[in-house]
Each structure stands twice: as structure tokens, then as C-alpha cells.
Structure 1
């Protein structure tokens, strides 16, 4: 029963992380007049600033736990999971649209689960074939629906291909981040998931300083004051929601779930991204989209069932949350 409660709590955190992360796909669409570099720099500068403010009261207790090795790891993780990932995502949304980007990013659960199946104590990959197949079917249905629509915004074929390449880059970048971040959380049980998220924010904000000049000073397009107000408002909301809260929830889920199940939780980012897109467009899902959503939900449910039937394998991969 203890393992079941841990999995239930971990899933809850995973769903919350997906709900906040889904806004990442909507932000570039709302702020389509701004460059991917500006979107990334603003979001992570604000993430870093907020993290510094929140971590200062606890820094004296945290400092002894963060040496040179941990600091370098935080910089690598921040580069992979935040800076590089979001530049790729924002570029993909600009060039290929939200649906196409969601399609490629929707492969993240399969990628992370496949890598996680090699971790010690993981549920055997053969037990996850059906959930993975359903996830792939769901993503494929979104792709089939996408191909049947007109090209968004008059984009050329070359632009769409470049956008898909950017989405693929985001897929690789975040897969590496998810696996390495999970390993570091296991290595540092004395650092809470929330504190690790804030430390990641500080590292990300430091890296984002290098983006500020090229993003806002060199070759920037003039914008009206009202556009800038919307820009910083949306960037602040994404920084607080997706970065501060979403990352904290994700770290908690990573501590409570085996990597093979953690990978499946990323499906909720795709589901919420689709939901927000439907709300923004003011429409219901198409038949294909509805079937895709059902397939994705069934994929997660079956994956949970596989872990429930093999508690020993899953429990070995669960690390209790630090206080």
C-alpha cells in the first residue's frame, strides 16, 4: 500500500506539472510578434529572479549541499531542459504551428520511458509495449489530423520542415534533461524537490543573462507599449506557472515515480497543450483529436496498471521525498 500511495501522489504531481507546462505551447502563439530568443530570455530571466528571491531565506542551509559538481550539473540541466528546449519549442511553434510541435513533443513519453527501461529496478520494457503503442497511436492520430489541414499562416514547406527539426531538437534536449535530472534527484535526497527547482531557476537565470543582449538589443523589432505589457505579463505568468510551479511539481513526481512511469506523465503536457489550444481557438476537438486524447489517457492508465502489478520493480526506483 505504501508504494501505491507514492505512485498516486507522484501521478498527481505529474498531472499538475503537465497542466502548468501546457501553457508553454500557448505562449509563443499569443506572443507571435516576438522572437523565440526574446520569449526564452524573458521567461528565464524572470524565473531566475523569482528563484533568487525565494531561495535567499534558505540559502545558508542549502549552500553546504551545493558544491562545484552540483553547480555544474545545474547549469547543464538548465541549458538542456530550459534554455535550449524552449528556444527550440518557440521556434517550432513559430515555423510549424502548435499542432505540429505538440505532435513531435508528444513523443517525449516514449523516449523517456525507453531510456528509463534500462534503469535499475525498472519495469521490463516488454510489460510496457501496449501502453507505449497506445501513446504512439495517439500521437499519430494528431499527426494524421494535422496533415489533413491547410498549412498554417501561409508558411512554406521549407519553414515547416525547419520547424519540425526544431521540435525534434526539443525532443532530444528534454529527454536528456528528464533522465539526468531524475538521477540527480536520487543522488541528493537531502535537497527537497522545490529547492532543486529553485536552484535550477538560479542557474537558468544566470544563463539567460547571456541571451538578454542578442534578444533585446541587437536587431530587435519595434513594438508598441501595449505589446510589451502583454509580453512581460505572459512571460511572467509562464515563468511562475511553468517554471517555478511546474518544475517543482515535476521534481516531486520524479522522486516518487520510477522513470518508466515518469515518462508517461509527460503525456499530460500534450493533453493540456491541446486543451488550451482548443479554448484559445474556441472549438471542440475533431474526431481524430478526440480519439487521440482517449488513446493517450488509456496509455497512461495501462502504464500505471503495469507498475501496480510489479510493485517490487517499481518500489526499488522510488526515492522518498526530502523534507
Structure 2
């Protein structure tokens, strides 16, 4: 398998694991807040990451200067904790499909930013991919919004704002993380992921006190057990394995293509949403999904080196 194919495979696996984060807020008992779920998920991530990196944490830490620690801090806060608070809020207020649709705009945002990098594939070559990606996202959006005929209320507005907040925070993370992975040479992608986990866990530990002390709702033991299982499951599947696969992919693919790989997260989130609702995609949704997949294939085509005719 070549470099691009391997990167695509890692991106697909990461998307399959990350798609589950959209369903998780529906799986926890009522009364638990988005901040509680995000904090518990990343406490799990932090503990496991610390255990895995412990044998080499001294060597890895020695490679970091002030700039690297600041980067880890803001990537952890914006790309992990804040992002998932936004996601959980949006899912609880607006649903899985709607939230995953808004996040589906990530490839467009990241690809446009990535096209500004020196030596990146130009937007002129990327426009067919972006066009079909936009067609797919707009189609799914239209279907979802038309399916829900209830008027816009405060809950939907807050849900929309949270989804847009998640879009902005993960765009910043995807771009910043990919660029840092290119700069780092003495640290592997897995080590960077685990160090991000350690820092995220530290922030989550600080947030745990206000998150759970002021939760305001008493829960029976069975609810706590269910909440803990979902949070720990997220910490292991999405944060440990999903992030590791994503970082490996980010080192194999250019930033403009990294943005397109986020489409897999949207597709798997929609798949899980359909399974949760016990239905299959409609005709419009099917056409939209095919358009999104075509967008990824066209992006791969745009990144193939052009043959020189002499």
C-alpha cells in the first residue's frame, strides 16, 4: 500500500471511531451535562495516556520547549475539551444528524486554509472535490432540516451555535495539529498524541471539580455506571485509538487532504445515527453520501503528481 493509500486507510479508521462521539450524548442518562461527559472522557484519556507514555516521558518531554508546551495546552483545550462540550451540547439540543452535518463543513474549511500553505495543491485543482463535498453536505442538510418541520426555538439556536463552535474549534485544532506534526522530528505521532492526552487529562482534572460539584442533579448508581461506561469507552476508542490513527494519517497526507479525511467522521456519524433511529438513508441522503465519497476520491486524484511530458 502506498503512502496516500495508507493515509486514507488510517483516516477511515479514525472516522469510524470518531463517528461514535456523536452518538455518545444520546447514550448517557438524562441529567448529565456536556461538561461532565467531556471531562470524564478526557480524564480517561489522560490516565491511559500517562500510563502508556510513562516509560519514555522524560525523553519526550526533553524535546519540548516553551512553544511546544503552549501548543499542547491550546490544542488540548480547543481541540479536545471545548470541542466535545460543543458537540455534546449540539447533539443533546439538535440531534445527531444535524450536528454531524454542521461538522461536515470541516473539510471545506481545513482544505481552504491548507491551500494557502507553501507548495500546497491550489484551489483551482481542488474545486471539483470541494464542489461535490459541498453538494453532499448541502443535500444532507436540506434533507435533515426539511424532515424536521418544527419552528426554530431557543434550544435549536443554542444547538446551532454549539455546532458552529465545534466546527470552529476543530478547524483550528486540525490545522494547528497537522502543522505541529510536520515540525516535530524527534517525537513520533503516537508520542505527540499521548502527550496531548496527558495535558488534556490535567486540564480535565482541574475542570472536574466545578463540573461534578455543581452538576445539580442526583443520579442513582445505575446511571453513574452507564455514564462511566460511555465516558471510558469514548476515552479509549476515540481519544486513544482514534487520535493515534489521525496523527499517523496527518504525517502521511498534506493538509489539504487531511481536511477531506474528516468526511469519514461525518459519514460514520450519519451511519450510527441511522442505526440508532432504526432506518436507512433516504434517496436524497444516499445521493448526498455518494457525493461526499466522490469528493474524497477527487481530492486524492488532485494530489497525484502530474506526469511530465517531454
TM-score strictly above 0.5: yes
Please tell me whether the aligned partners of residues 97 and 269 of structure 2 are also in contact (alpha carbons under 8 angstroms).
no
Which position in structure 2 is the counterpart of 1:84? Answer: 82
Which position in structure 1 is the counterpart of 2:255? Answer: 259
Cα 1:310–1:257 shift into 2, 3 Å:
farther
Which position in structure 2 is the counterpart of 1:233? Answer: 229
Which position in structure 1 is the counterpart of 2:161? Answer: 165
List alignment gaps of at least 5 residues for structure 2: none
Deviation digits for residues 89-142 of structure 1 (CA, Å, limit 9, x no counterpart): 111111111111111100000000000000111111111111101111111111
Which position in structure 2 is the counterpart of 1:25? Answer: 22
Q: CA RMSD in A?
A: 1.6
CA distance in 2 between partners of 1:275 and 1:187 (Å): 35
Which position in structure 2 is the counterpart of 1:288? Answer: 284
Q: Which runs of 4+ in 1 moved over 6 A?
A: none
Q: CA deviation at 1:297?
A: 0.4
Cα 1:227–1:114 shift into 2, 3 Å:
same
Which position in structure 2 is the counterpart of 1:46? Answer: 44
Which position in structure 1 is the counterpart of 2:10? Answer: 13
CA distance in 2 between partners of 1:219 and 1:17 (Å): 31
CA distance in 1 between partners of 2:178 and 2:82 (Å): 19
Equivalenced residues, count: 307
1:31-70 equivalent positions in 2, closer than 5 A: 31=28, 33=30, 34-70=32-68
Please tell me whether the aligned partners of residues 94 and 159 of structure 2 are also in contact (alpha carbons under 8 angstroms).
yes
Q: CA deviation at 1:255?
A: 0.6
CA distance in 1 between partners of 2:260 and 2:202 (Å): 31
1:1-323 equivalent positions in 2, closer than 5 A: 5-31=2-28, 33=30, 34-150=32-148, 157-310=153-306
User: What's the TM-score, normalizing by structure 2?
Assistant: 0.95
Structure 1 stretch displaced more, 129-138 or 215-224:
215-224
Q: CA deviation at 1:214?
A: 1.8
CA distance in 2 between partners of 1:111 and 1:210 (Å): 32
Please tell me whether the aligned partners of residues 45 and 239 of structure 2 are also in contact (alpha carbons under 8 angstroms).
yes
CA distance in 2 between partners of 1:175 and 1:32 (Å): 30
CA distance in 1 between partners of 2:266 and 2:306 (Å): 27
Please tell me whether the aligned partners of residues 123 and 310 of structure 1 are also in contact (alpha carbons under 8 angstroms).
no
Please tell me whether the aligned partners of residues 32 and 94 of structure 1 are also in contact (alpha carbons under 8 angstroms).
no
User: What's the TM-score, normalizing by structure 1?
Assistant: 0.91
Cα 1:125–1:163 shift into 2, 3 Å:
same
CA distance in 2 between partners of 1:305 and 1:273 (Å): 25
Deviation digits for residues 135-188 of structure 1 (CA, Å, limit 9, x no counterpart): 11111111111122236xx89612101111111111111111111111111111
Q: CA deviation at 1:284?
A: 1.1
List alignment gaps of at least 5 residues for structure 1: 313-323
CA distance in 1 between partners of 2:8 and 2:228 (Å): 32
